[in-house]
Chains A and B, each alone.
Chain A
Amino acid sequence: MLELAIGIILCGCAIGAGLALIAGIGPGIGEGNAVAKACEAIGRQPESKGSVMSTLFIGCALAETTGVYGFVTGLLLMFVVPKMLVNVLIAALKANGIL
């Protein structure tokens, strides 16, 4: 029974990590738009390439944030949360005198 419970915990964490990385779609679209507009701007005014590029890099790194949140959540779900939840489960079982 304990094996089944731990299995369900691990399975849930893995599915959650996979779902958390869907957050990568948003920054992908956003950065694509930003780069497209930057290309347009450089095409119109080639002399402003330097300032456009530096603004683009900062903007892209800021737009990445939401994707990075998803990634950190995924990392936590893969490496930190399962151990914690299994410990909680075992502690609860011991408190109830089952284990």
Chain B
Amino acid sequence: MVNSRRFKIIDALLILMMALPMVFAIILKILTNPESEGIAISGALIYFTIPMPKWDLPITESQVNSWLVMISIFGLCLYLTHGLSPKAQTKRQLLAEYIVTKTDSLVHENMGEFFSAFSPFICSILALSAFSSLSSLFGIFPPTSDLNVIAGWAILVFLLITYYKLKCGFGYYIKSFTEPIALLTPFNIIGEIATPVSMTFRHYGNIVSGSVISTLIAAGLRILSSWIFGWLPGAIGEFPFLRIGLPAILSAYFDVFSGCLQAFIFSILTMINISGAFDFNIYTARKNKKLSKKQKAN
């Protein structure tokens, strides 16, 4: 009895850990958002800048919000994995096992046996991207509609791609640029740089286009309702009746569906690009050569 009660207290604390960052973000948004007349399309607010030797480091809304989303996801993970037992008894343990087995099978399907250690990374990218996009449902600035946040993820993926290309040998990495013929080297270099750029723009553009369309529709509905209900007296005439409920239908597509789909596609592309950069046969041949050299030296 005492044991279960203590579990419940810890559970409540973990749920608070999930919910409090979002509440904090909403309060921050209410306190800092400048009151604007009408509807505007704007980027992330800059809270303050930290002076640095070369460039100043701005701390923006998207950075703060993405850290809050990360804390929230951390709380969710702790909540799902709290009180695990060898025999699955609780619903959340079943859910956690479902998520882990699904990600494992997804990574195994797309990347092969060698990369099976990648499933935590893929799952975290998927969760971060999806929850960042979904955080716009709370009315806060979604971190995924800032180009810099997604560019950071894409640069991380680019570094991983380069690392796995270099794993097959430096000579092989340099030679891969001159294929099929040496004339195509500049195009190959452009193609190498284009991978993170296209990943960034795809994710960013899809999320931002959704929010721009939602903003335009909301503005249009406001004008339309002032045309239709403008003859009503006083404050009732100015109230935009058509903006109740109707934008939510669009939000279901642009925020929920598009956000989750883009998160899924970002992680799929991550998997395909990383596993495509790595040639297992050449890697094993190189490893065997090294091993035989070492044995000869001994």
B-binding residues in A (CB < 8 A):
57-58, 61-62, 64-65, 68-69, 71-72, 75, 79
Contacts and interface: CB of A to CB of B under 8 A. Distances in A.
Contacts of A61: 202, 206, 261-262, 265
A65 B262 CA distance: 11
The bracket for how many chain B residues form the interface is 10 to 19
A69 B274 CA distance: 23
Contacts of B209: 68, 71
Contacts of B41: 79
B205 interface: yes
Contacts of B284: none
B201 A72 contact: yes
Minimum-distance CB pairs A-B, first 6: A68-B205, A72-B205, A65-B202, A61-B265, A71-B205, A72-B201
A58 B201 contact: no
A71 B204 CA distance: 10
Contact of A69 (B205, B261, B264): B205
Interface of B: 41, 43, 198, 201-202, 204-206, 208-209, 212, 261-262, 264-265, 268
Contacts of A64: 202, 206
Contacts of A58: 261, 264-265, 268
Given A64-B202, A69-B201, 20 more contacts: A57-B261, A58-B261, A58-B268, A61-B206, A61-B261, A61-B262, A61-B265, A62-B202, A62-B265, A65-B198, A65-B202, A68-B202, A68-B209, A69-B205, A71-B208, A72-B204, A72-B205, A75-B212, A79-B41, A79-B43
Contacts of B268: 58
A68 B265 contact: no
Contacts of B206: 61, 64, 68
Nearest to B257: A57
9 contacts: A58-B265, A61-B262, A61-B265, A62-B265, A69-B198, A72-B204, A72-B205, A72-B208, A79-B43
Name A's interface SS.
helix
Contacts of B208: 71-72, 75
A75 B211 CA distance: 13
Nearest to B258: A61
Nearest to B197: A69
Contacts of A57: 261
Contacts of B204: 72
B14 to A, nearest CB: 33
Nearest to A57: B261
B254 to A, nearest CB: 13
User: Which of A57, A72, A79 is the most central at the interface, judged by chain B CB atoms within 10 Å of its CB?
Assistant: A72
Nearest to A70: B205
Contacts of B261: 57-58, 61
A65 B261 CA distance: 13
Contacts of A75: 208, 212
Given A61-B206, A75-B208, A79-B41, A68 B262 contact: no
Contacts of B264: 58
Contacts of B205: 68-69, 71-72
A61 B41 CA distance: 24
B276 to A, nearest CB: 15
A84 to B, nearest CB: 14
A71 B201 CA distance: 10
Contacts of A68: 201-202, 205-206, 209
Contacts of A71: 205, 208-209
